Structure 1
Amino acid sequence: MVPKQKLRVTTVVYWVLLLYIIAAFAWWAFSLLQQNREIHTLLKKNLPTASTDYAIKTKAIEEAEKRGIYKYVGEGSAFLLLICVGAVFIYRSVRQQFRLQQQQQNFVMAVTHELKTPIAVARLNLQTLQKHQLEEEKKKKLLQATLQETLRLDTLINNILIASQLEDHAYHITKEELDFSELVKDAVKAFEVRYPERLLQALIQDDVTINGDATLLKLLLSNLLENANKYSPKDKRVDLHLAQNDNAVFLEVVDEGTGIPDEEKKAVFKKFYRIGNEQTRKTQGTGLGLYICQKIAEDHGGEITVKDNLPTGSKFIVQFYG
């Protein structure tokens, strides 16, 4: 049974059980109130009417009946509130678990594809070089393509390892004063070597410093640039801006792709989350890149947000404070 069918069946069973519990609770409450009324009515009937304290005893019975009503109504209301709170909590937890399961399945599918593709391409290129005598220019193109695939595989493995370590607090962050400008320039050069066909415009303020972990910050830059390259048409430009003021360091990576809907802007930073599904989306990825970017930004006392780039595309903004 596929996850969506499981979710539908679980939802139906959940609502049937919840409605049964509420119906049983309502019948229980009605029975107690009815019993309370009948008991006190019987007590009043058994009082001798000729008794001198008949009025006092009748009033006492009526007050006891009211106290019983207040007791059952109060206990019932508290019990009903607990049922509702528990039902909402269970409902949200179950749906979240199913969503997580679906995202994990998508992740496994994506990782399987992401691991097989670069290995297959690299193997094919190397076999071609081994079996055929090619012109020097063709050899360079095949070697460049093979290098790109190995770098892609290395990025994927780093993302998986770092994501696991950051989540489990197993990665020891070593912060030191860094020349962030030079680190960004190195990341830009590496990107240009890997994607020579992509136009990248970088405006980098000199002498921007930051206290941070160089490995993690390089990974953040790599993921943001990879993301921009992945979702932008081949003939569109990618922009990178780095600046610093008295309060913060600002890093922006801007693409001219299709953009991200407003309702998805926060979700894209969740672990395993990707827009669409693995069967229909065309772009490659695992749903870890932006999650890692957010974790790295937070671990460095900053934040990452995404805004629309007009007229089209997305603008990822990382701010480091202090």
Structure 2
Amino acid sequence: MIATLKLTRFSVAIGAIADIWLILLISVHDADYVATSVYHLPIWSALLATAIVAIGMCGFAASLNDTVDARHDATFHPSRPIPSGWIPIAQAVVVLVSSLLISLLAASFLGTWSIRLGLCTAAAILFYNVVGKHVPAVGLVCLGLIYAIHMLIPNIELTFTLPVWLTLTHVMVCSSAIYILEDKRPVISMRGWIGVFVGWIVWSLILFSAPLATSGSLLPADMHVMALTYPLCAVVGFALLVRWKLSTAKSPMHAADKIRRYGALWQCVYATTWLFSLQLYSAAMGMCIFALASAVIVLLVKEATGASGKPVSWRR
């Protein structure tokens, strides 16, 4: 899919794969989830199916975004794929529908609830593009929810929801920073920011309600609280990385692009640290290799397309 090969979209797809793989790996290594469909699947087929789900959803989201914004981009962003003529709008629609169908087909191998959550993710993406973009307080919360729902596609019965909560929070913080740096309109008022905070609180409580109701704790029985040191270090590491990258950014738009790109890639780091926290060392090493390989691929894409993230033929 040509539209999804842009640098930022490619990074988002990598982060989405890491997110969904994290929940899959947690589920297949915990006997508490023996009743779920993914627990009994061969690990290679489950990894392949969830990766296709993630890539398909990213392709659907990217194509829908470009299709809905085609007229706006023709005026304000003429170098983007559809306005520049690189991708005809009819082809974008074909990619949109095909990506969603492929994603849902892959989800069908994971169970009935996976299809339902896939449909919920697609509905949330559609809602964001039609409504959320124009009501930023709603849109920022919606973005976090899209990632949270997407992560639960392999296992809706997940009770260890801290990784999902961290991703929701990470996405909302990064999206808020990008919104400010890109000076988007409408400007979010103080009331709007309060709405974003309240939305985050509400969905955090909903995510935490399941484990608290089941076991009275946010952590699995065999996980010590000190194991949270790994993901906490990842959070601090991302904050330091962002501070460094922002100090070298040439403009607010350039800074926003860095947050978008590294924020997506850093989800691989979060996934690795959560697996280490759960003492799933083989899975953690595999995720670490995936993170390093992804970083190399993104660098190669950057070299091939230029720092702007656009194919050479888009540049003027």
Q: TM-score range by the shorter chain?
A: under 0.3
Higher percent of residues as strand: 1
Higher percent of residues as helix: 2
TM-score (norm 1): 0.23
Return the index of the structure with the highest Cα Rg. 1
TM-score (norm 2): 0.23
